[in-house]
Amino acid sequence: GAVVSQHPSWVICKSGTSVKIECRSLDFQATTMFWYRQFPKQSLMLMATSNEGSKATYEQGVEKDKFLINHASLTLSTLTVTSAHPEDSSFYICSASLAGGLHNEQFFGPGTRLTVL
């Protein structure tokens, strides 16, 4: 149980285009989903927290107009990187918290590697 999927697992795009990454909780309902960014050999950096049906809360330094987050249902959150540039290339990972589950537990997706040319 508690499986989180991400799609796509990797994407290559041209500079200036937008890319959408999906995060799904497959066998549970998630009231809260988190989006992280990870650079090579570094730790996970929280970008934003999204609750179903409300606006995402962005961490300091993360541009909300560049990284659009939508959490339309209890099983799906999307991250759209708008007008992507090479510096946006990174490993993006989502996680989900169980609705009604034990506090604090997060289950992570497999990640999406974005390469912007």
Partner 1 sequence: GENVEQHPSTLSVQEGDSAVIKCTYSDSASNYFPWYKQELGKGPQLIIDIRSNVGEKKDQRIAVTLNKTAKHFSLHITETQPEDSAVYFCAASTNNAGNMLTFGGGTRLMVKP
Q: How far is the CB of 9 from partner 1 (least distance, A)?
A: 9
Q: How far is the CB of 109 from partner 1 (least distance, A)?
A: 5
**The residue to which tokens 């809260």 are assigned:** 32
Instruction: Name which of 49 and 82 has its Cβ closer to partner 1.
Output: 49
Buried b (16+ CB within 10 A) or exposed e, 9-36: eebebeeeeebebbbbbeebebbbbbbb
Coil, strand, or helix at residue 95? Answer: strand
Binding site for partner 1 (CB under 8 A): 4, 6, 32, 34, 41-44, 46, 49, 93, 97, 103-111, 113
Instruction: Name which of 49 and 70 has its Cβ closer to partner 1.
Output: 49
Helix-, strand-, coil-residue percentages of the chain, each rounded to 5 = 5, 55, 45
Instruction: Name which of 42 and 83 has its Cβ closer to partner 1.
Output: 42
Coil, strand, or helix at residue 88? Answer: helix
Q: What is the DSSP letter of 9?
A: S
Instruction: Name which of 9 and 18 has its Cβ closer to partner 1.
Output: 9
Q: How far is the CB of 110 from partner 1 (least distance, A)?
A: 5
Q: How far is the CB of 90 from partner 1 (least distance, A)?
A: 13
